[in-house]
């Protein structure tokens, strides 16, 4: 049982230390991918917030005075 626990621990440690890097991907490419994902997530979140606050469409109100 100890051997199994040790083996699972070693495998989990290896997975945690390897990160989300794809085979053949450099550290700079990983950083670029992470930055892009964060930028896209932020843009989508702000777009959702604008839609929830009804700020996504221009006003149909006129600035002209109607007699």
* Mean pLDDT in residue range 53-61: 81
As a whole number of angstroms, the distance between CA 55 and CA 47 comes to: 9
Residue 30: partners with Cβ closer than 8 Å, 6 or more residues away:
19, 20, 21
* Mean pLDDT in residue range 9-29: 78
Q: Look at residue 3 and tell me whether its pLDDT is greater than 90.
A: no
Residue 19 confidence class, pLDDT cut points 50, 70, 90: low
pLDDT (0 to 100) of residue 35:
95
pLDDT digits (tens, 9 = 90+) for 20-53: 666 788 889 989 999 999 999 999 999 999 999 9
DSSP 56: S
pLDDT (0 to 100) of residue 64:
80
């Amino acid at each position: 049982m100890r051997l199994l626990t040790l083996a699972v621990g070693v495998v989990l440690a290896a997975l945690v230390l390897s990160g989300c890097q794809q085979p053949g991907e450099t550290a700079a490419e990983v950083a670029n991918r992470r930055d892009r994902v964060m930028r896209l997530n932020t843009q989508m979140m702000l777009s959702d917030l604008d839609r929830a606050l009804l700020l996504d469409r221009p006003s149909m109100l006129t600035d002209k005075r109607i007699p």
